[in-house]
Chains A and B, each alone.
Chain A
Amino acid sequence: MTAPASQPTSFSRVPGIAFIFKKALISALVALVLFSLMIGIRTEAGPTGQLIFWTRFGDLASMVAIVFGGSIVVELLRQWWGPVETVRIVPPSAQNAMAIGRRAIAPVLLIFTFLVPVIFYDQRYILDLGILVLTYVMLGWGLNVVVGLAGLLDLGYVAFYAVGAYSYALLSTTFGLSFWVCLPLAGILAAFWGVLLGFPVLRLRGDYLAIVTLAFGEIIRLVIINWQSLTGGPNGISGIPRPSFFGIPLTPGDDGLAARLGIEFSPTHRIVFLFYLILALALLTNWVTIRLRHLPIGRAWEALREDEVACRALGINTTTTKLTAFATGAMFGGFAGAFFATRQGFISPESFTFQESALILAIVVLGGMGSQLGVALAALAMIGGFELFRGFDQYRMLVFGVAMVLLMIWRPRGLIGHRAPTVFLERNQAISSELTSEGRG
């Protein structure tokens, strides 16, 4: 592996085979130590309460072997894919193809999403999974406003999801309001709570903000559990009305949509309708976010993420900027919550635990903070991945963890770390070339 002398590839230090083996050996040793107790010995409580244990050295050996082999593969891949300093040996034609592929991802994905109910009409499981993924896409996009754009680390996003869900559930079961009236109300209420959370944390950033938002999420959940008379406590709220097709119910009765259209009723109609409903809500979130990014307020959010002091010096009111970010993000969370309530027909505090917040945040971070497409891909990978590995049962979290580690090694900024600029020079306002060529200063 000697580089030709003529080529000035100065920093391409290619580690030798000995190095790779040494590294793999160390990894295997660490794995052996870690797994010897975790996998090598299995314990269980016997019938009379005594401790039974047996050894699984076969499993242990295979795990260590996987780590050893995987470590070599990782090291080889690293040389092929290359970190920043090494020269990429990916051929230019492949790079071109990848660039085209990258540009085509978003439209292809969108068209495919539109066609999912057509292609998988008979597969209820896939439709349900699609709805679930889209819900998380929407939540990810909503949180992306707060975390990705404004840079405010929010660990309690699920609180707004809960506010939206309970708003719809309570308004519809108590006052009989329809979904389409409740949807904006749920958004407004969630935005209101977003502002309410925003005020006390205006001065906080980073870790401190994360702790307070984490507590906020827990407070909302505890209030829901304990305010039995209003929320039903841990029993939750059931019998939440299903959404109607703009007033026309999706039921087998005479006034149902199927009867009016003169087609045979099928319960799948409702699922398809829900699919397109959440798709529309998610796309609305995306559209609003993209629009806002091109307006001063969106730019102010991003500038706030970068440097708060500079923002203030430039005349940006950081208070209102932060509050609008919290409110906008919370509003989308509220919409998603209302959708969740109408889809499930039943909600309880169990659905709004910290784990949900963490999952949504993981989607945003893995997707690449601030990238809309990245967040969508991450939601697909995370939620879809969870389902995909359901069969592996006990290894599911292991695979998940390995995937996360690998992603953070190769893509530390997330799946799509590239940030598209929002301001361009128009051609007619370009400066004449003689001015720019006259000198440097």
Chain B
Amino acid sequence: MTASSTAPLLAIRSLRAAYGKIEALKGVDLDIKSGEIVALIGANGAGKSTLMMTIFGKPRARAGSITFDGRDITDVPTHEIARLRLAQSPEGRRIFPRMSVAENLQMGADATDSSEAERTAGLERVLTLFPRLKERITQRGGTLSGGEQQMLAIGRALMSRPRLLMLDEPSLGLAPLIARQIFDAIRTLNRQDGLTVMIVEQNANHALRLAHRGYVMVNGLITLSGTGAELLQRPEIRAAYLEGGRRG
């Protein structure tokens, strides 16, 4: 990890969380600096999604702290966290199926204090990034394909003009080509708009190529961290996440 003089945008310190008696996070430390893409990889049940949900207060942290932009948000209600412009595209996309694409996008901006001009600009940005959504703007969300729904989920999160965008498994269930398009869009957002992104992925190869830095999570603990390129070279990463099928 490279030392930085600026304070991280999101700082997580010895975070613990549990579902009932099952401890899902056993003391996680994680930093996200402004302007970087951070990937969190790990196997099923490692606690990646739990970490993301705990940042949003569901489930609540049992111990440790979460600081976003210098403010302790460990005990802030979920809906208020989102208003701090910390946006997420949840696992399984969770778009609103009976509402139109336009309404889905509008929902992303509704809870924020964005002005009308900012909303329009945000909408324009999303539709430029995902031209498919513009073609489907009057369709119901449920009638979109999986990839389009993922675009919609990301677009909806972007409508709140986030300072940190958290994506939970954006490539889940998508054809490789569509997944590539999603990752390209994330890279564009990071490069052109300076958006800070945290991406939770099982697709370690893709995620680590995209990310500046990565964390590896195993059984509720961060076991490895480093730059994306570094992690891609680590033999244990290659064995566990990249060539898992071929290891015999």
- Give the interface of A toward B (CB within 8 A): 296, 299-300, 302-303, 305-307, 309-318, 419, 421-425, 429, 431, 435-441
Contact = CB atoms under 8 A, between A and B. Distances in A.
A435 B131 contact: yes
B125 to A, nearest CB: 10
A147 to B, nearest CB: 14
Contacts of A437: 131
B14 interface: no
A250 to B, nearest CB: 46
Contact of B78 (A313, A429, A439): A313
A299 B106 contact: yes
Interface stretch (B66-74, B94-102, B198-206, B227-235): B94-102
A305 B134 CA distance: 25
B56 A316 contact: no
A296 B82 CA distance: 16
B89 to A, nearest CB: 8
12 contacts: A300-B107, A306-B97, A312-B78, A312-B79, A313-B88, A314-B157, A421-B100, A423-B103, A429-B123, A435-B128, A436-B131, A441-B180
Contacts of B180: 441
Contacts of B140: 419
Contact of B185 (A311, A421, A438, A441): A441
Interface of B: 56, 58, 77-83, 87-88, 90, 94-100, 102-103, 105-108, 110-112, 120, 123-124, 127-128, 130-132, 134-135, 137-138, 140, 156-157, 160, 180-181, 184-185
A307 B96 contact: yes
B79 A317 contact: yes
Contacts of B107: 299-300, 303, 311, 314, 316
A300 B58 CA distance: 20
Contacts of A318: 79
B102 A436 contact: no
Given A305-B98, A312-B58, 18 more contacts: A300-B110, A302-B96, A302-B103, A303-B99, A303-B107, A307-B95, A312-B56, A313-B88, A314-B156, A314-B160, A316-B82, A419-B140, A423-B103, A425-B137, A429-B120, A431-B128, A441-B130, A441-B185
Contacts of A313: 56, 78, 82, 87-88, 90, 94
| Chain B contact surface mostly | helix
Contacts of A419: 98, 140
Contacts of A296: 110-111
Contacts of B111: 296, 314-317
Contacts of B78: 312-313
Contacts of A299: 99, 103, 106-107, 110
A91 to B, nearest CB: 27
B132 A440 contact: yes
Contacts of B112: 315
Contacts of A424: 102, 138
A303 B160 CA distance: 16
Contacts of A425: 102, 123, 137
Given A318-B79, A421-B103, A423-B102, A436 B120 contact: no
Contact of A423 (B83, B95, B100): B100
B110 A316 contact: yes
B99 A306 contact: yes
Nearest to B79: A317
A184 B124 CA distance: 44
A435 B111 CA distance: 29
A206 to B, nearest CB: 16
Nearest to A426: B120
A431 B80 contact: no
A314 B108 contact: yes
Contacts of B130: 441
B140 to A, nearest CB: 8
B127 A431 contact: yes
A424 B100 CA distance: 9
Contacts of A306: 96-99
Given A312-B78, A313-B82, A315-B83, A438 B131 contact: yes
A300 B82 CA distance: 15
Nearest to B130: A441
Nearest to B58: A312
Contacts of B83: 315
Nearest to A431: B127
B222 to A, nearest CB: 23
A439 B90 contact: no
Contacts of B181: 440-441
A441 B160 contact: no
B213 to A, nearest CB: 24
A306 B103 CA distance: 12
Contacts of B98: 302, 305-306, 419
A317 B108 CA distance: 13
A440 B131 contact: yes
Contacts of A438: 131
Contacts of B58: 309, 312
Listed from nearest, the 5 A-B pairs whose CB atoms lie closest are A315-B82, A315-B111, A441-B181, A306-B96, A310-B94
A327 to B, nearest CB: 19
